Amino acid sequence: MTETNPIACLLVIGNEVLSGRTQDANIKFLATRLGEIGIPLREVRVIPDVKDTIVATVNEVRRRFDHVFTTGGIGPTHDDITSECIAAAFGVPWEPHPEAWGRLERHYKPGEFNAARQRMGTMPRGAALIDNAISIAPGFSMENVHVMAGVPRIMQAMFEALAPTLQGGPPIASRTVHANGVMEGRIAEGLADIQQRWPDLDIGSYPYYRMGGGGVALVAKGSDPDAVDAASAAITMLLRAIGSQPVQGEPPV
């Protein structure tokens, strides 16, 4: 990856992933989409619904990364504390946001916009809303911190509403070659040579195990598509030299 790409960190906030109750589905989606728009994901942290932990983590990573995305903890219940923690992290009041409040007030029937739901219209001062096409209650950005829902369908809608406002670097190009029946240990030295020839690329080796035998998937990745093509061709030659018949793309599942 070149240094021209801004980089991102994701905070998955919620006890349910740490307890094993929920299989996270947000990391893969955001990792893929952020790569596509040229803001590669460089770190993920899964942290609990604990105020001190959220505040300290947000303040650490918002200085180290160009963009920070958070998922989870912006609903109406007592364990939804992300929004007030972001206010604390930025040192600003947590107060009704007129536009978010108005959207929610219009959405609920008279009498149903209760104290718990009003929490979803309460935000750090200065928050810029992220639209929620699914269930109304918006996410928001504070500077480079983008606060989204944890429910995957809602998070994805929020991300797509936000994405056009993000300024990415060149998209990350990627080519995969897979070789059935090849063990990593047979090609490791040749692969290390290829990594040295293209130091700006990220050459990855991922063994897989399937019914009927496994193999290895070899990925060349970077922001220069010509270099990615050339490295991928070199990987193909390396595999042919040991008698394998490599195939472009991912192995069949």
Instruction: Answer yes or no: are the C-beta atoms of 12 and 27 closer than 8 Å.
Output: yes
Residue number with CB closer to its own copies (126 or 204): 204
| Smallest distance from its own copies to CB 100, Å | 15
Q: Which residues, 6 or more positions from 242, have their beta carbon under 8 angstroms from its beta carbon?
A: 182, 186, 187
If one asks whether residue 122 binds its own copies (CB under 8 A), the answer comes out as no
- Interface residue with its own copies, options 75, 138, 169, 222 (CB under 8 A): 75
If one asks whether residue 198 binds its own copies (CB under 8 A), the answer comes out as no
- Return the structure tokens found at 54: 């959220």
What residues from 146 to 165 belong to the interface with its own copies (CB under 8 A)? 151, 153
If one asks whether residue 222 binds its own copies (CB under 8 A), the answer comes out as no
- By three-state DSSP, how is residue 172 classified? coil
The residue range among 123-131, 160-168, 201-209, 237-245 that interacts with its own copies, by the rule CB under 8 A, is 201-209
Angle, helices 225-241 vs 184-197, to 10°: value is 150
- Interface residue with its own copies, options 31, 129, 136, 163 (CB under 8 A): 31
Paired strand residues for 180: 215
If one asks whether residue 207 binds its own copies (CB under 8 A), the answer comes out as yes
Cα–Cα distances (Å) from 144 to 63, 70, 181, in that order, read 9, 11, 45
Residue with tokens 């480079």: 144
Write out the residues near its own copies by the rule CB under 8 A: 12, 15-24, 27-35, 40-48, 53, 75-80, 112, 114-117, 119, 151, 153, 172, 174, 184-189, 191-192, 195, 202-207, 209, 219, 221
